[in-house]
Amino acid sequence: MASLDIAELIRQAPVRLAPMASYTNVPFRRVAQACGSGFTTNEEIDADAFRYDNQRTLRMARMSPEDGVVAMQLLGCDPEAMTLAAVRLVEAGASIIDVNMGCPAPKVTKRGKGAALMRDLATTATLLKALRAAIDVPLTIKIRGGWSDEHLNAVEVACMAEECGVDAITVHPRTRSQQYTGHAPWAVIGEVVRAVSIPVTGNGDVHSMAEARRMMDETGCAGVMVGRAALGRPWLFDEAHETLSPARRFERERAVIEQHLALIEATMPPHEALLQTKKHLALYVAGRPEARPLKAAIFLARDLAAVRGHYEQAVEGYGSAWIPFPYVASR
């Protein structure tokens, strides 16, 4: 039995940042939490990295005491590799272990990992039972609606997982075949909610706190994960942000971006810090005035000082006129 009460944790802060490979690392997770996200989930980490001491991948598993409650997400299908990785992560401070059962990338699924776990319930049950026995923190899974339209089994997978001792489930109801296209069929989330008694988090196409509430009302899910809409816009976890005057929003967004850039610089080696700064700044400026030339200049810049120079010049030039932001692709 897990020591941390995950149901209570989700109840306290139901809307939270979704895991996104190469984005939801220490700096962005911390910024999102400071903006109001509930506990966050790290980007997926291949469990084999622990077996083979793959330093590059292991760096992705960085945590820091300031992270608060953090879920570490593992990608894998082999019970031995997965339990080894989970135990190491818990020893290093992970509060929750999450199993990725939704990654649609062929290089992942052809090895039986990610969404492929939804096709092989016997392997998945063995894996989840082994993990349950190996760790005493909450064990969670993140699933899709199924492998394809012909193979929709989110409810079956969720019931099996609950029987194996899984403490909470996140459902991104697109199928593996759908990847990220089309609409996420929220009704599937409701079907899973009604089939299990552990907390279910819904995910897919949520762009605002109002939409998150709507997903909770329509499906009965206990929590909501927001992925793409939070990229370049972590303040969406604070509904009050939208009510600020343009001048106050400008100041706040600028402060959040500054905090993010400072955290990237403080926690990452220089080469990685440069890439991450470019990537996130491009998202922060997307859709704002003069975004295209600014993004081009940011990507061409050779070092952090030059990247920052371009950004600061643009921000100074526009002041609160910089604020108009493309808002919100509503369902």
Question: What residues are annotated to the active site?
Answer: 103
Question: Per-residue DSSP letters for 162-205?
Answer: HHTT--EEEEEEEETTTTT-S---THHHHHHHHH-SS-EEEESS
User: Residue 75: which of 63, 61, 90 has the closest Cα?
Assistant: 61
- From the list 156-164, 226-234, 243-251, 263-271, the region that binds ligand FMN by CB under 6 A is 226-234
Which one among 10, 71, 206, 257 touches ligand FMN, defined by CB under 6 A?
Answer: 206
> Is 227 near ligand FMN (CB under 6 A)?
yes
Residue spans of beta strands (DSSP E) within the chain = 15-17, 40-41, 45-46, 70-75, 96-101, 139-148, 151-152, 168-175, 200-203, 223-226
Measured torsion, CA atoms of residues 266, 269, 271, 274, in degrees rounded to the nearest 10 = -10
Sole residue written with tokens 């600061």:
312
**Which is nearer to ligand FMN, 117 or 315 (by Cβ)?**
117
Q: Which of residues 120-179 bind ligand FMN (CB under 6 A)?
A: 142, 172
> Side chain identity at 261, as an amino acid letter?
L
Give the contact letters, 26-65, x = binds to ligand FMN (CB under 6 A), - = no.
-----------------xx---------------------
Give least dist CB 321 to ligand FMN, A.
Answer: 29
User: Residue 297: which of 283, 309, 315, 286 has the closest Cα?
Assistant: 309
- From the list 8-16, 87-95, 159-167, 204-212, the region that binds ligand FMN by CB under 6 A is 204-212
HSE-up (13 A, CA, CB side) for residue 142: 31
> Is 21 near ligand FMN (CB under 6 A)?
yes
> Is 18 near ligand FMN (CB under 6 A)?
yes
- CB count, 10 Å around CB of 272? 14
> Is 105 near ligand FMN (CB under 6 A)?
no
Residue of minimal CB distance from ligand FMN? Answer: 227
> Is 211 near ligand FMN (CB under 6 A)?
no
Give least dist CB 312 to ligand FMN, A.
Answer: 27
Give least dist CB 226 to ligand FMN, A.
Answer: 5
- From the list 86-94, 127-135, 202-210, 296-304, the region that binds ligand FMN by CB under 6 A is 202-210
- Identify the helix (H) or strand (E) that includes residue 59: helix 55-59
Give least dist CB 149 to ligand FMN, A.
Answer: 18
Binding site residues, ligand FMN, CB under 6 A: 18-21, 43-44, 73, 100, 102-103, 142, 172, 203-206, 226-229
